[in-house]
């Protein structure tokens, strides 16, 4: 058994565990209920952890996790109508309302 990821967000770990299981990697979550130790234990020691059951699956699991957590997208864009710079998360210019070009 090998730990492949630790994070304060249990939701993120649930997502990653489901991702690994979907790819045929047996895994389990540990330390999900250690929040009560906050203040007595180092913060990173009480974070929930994602473990793979087979050590040989760790490299593939790590690659899948890295790919899942890498933000991909077109990035910031410039509005063709007014020239305003718009962050990547928006499909419409905040200044003039023009839709993002394809």
The stretch 58-73 carries a mean pLDDT of 91
Residue-level pLDDT at 32? 76
CA 98 to chain CA centroid, nearest Å: 31
> Tell me: the pLDDT tens digits for 3-30?
999 998 889 999 999 999 999 999 999 9
Tokens 């009560």 locate to 36
The CATH number of the domain holding residue 36 is 3.30.70.790
- What's the pTM value of the predicted model, to 2 decimals? 0.65
| pLDDT band per the 50, 70, 90 thresholds, residue 75 | confident
Do 59 and 78 lie in one domain? The reply is no
Report whether 34 contacts 41 (CB < 8 A): yes
Do 78 and 62 lie in one domain? The reply is no
Containing domain of residue 79, as a range?
A: 73-102
Residue-level pLDDT at 14? 94
Do 65 and 79 lie in one domain? The reply is no
The stretch 63-92 carries a mean pLDDT of 90
Within 8 A by CB and 6+ apart from 13, the residues are 5, 7, 29, 48, 49, 50
Q: Is the pLDDT of residue 35 over 70?
A: no
The stretch 26-47 carries a mean pLDDT of 76
CA angle 56, 53, 13 (to 5 degrees): 110
Report whether 30 contacts 49 (CB < 8 A): yes
How many other CB atoms are there within 10 angstroms of residue 51's CB atom?
19
């Amino acid at each position: 058994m090998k730990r492949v990821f630790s994070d304060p967000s249990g939701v993120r770990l649930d997502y990653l565990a489901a991702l690994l299981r979907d790819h045929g990697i047996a895994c389990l979550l540990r330390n999900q209920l250690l929040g009560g130790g906050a203040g007595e234990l180092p913060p990173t020691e009480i974070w929930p952890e994602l473990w793979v059951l087979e050590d040989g699956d760790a490299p593939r699991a790590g690659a899948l996790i890295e790919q899942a957590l890498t933000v991909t997208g077109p990035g910031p864009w410039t509005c063709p109508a007014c020239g305003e710079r718009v962050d990547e998360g928006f499909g419409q210019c905040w200044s003039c309302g023009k839709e993002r070009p394809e």
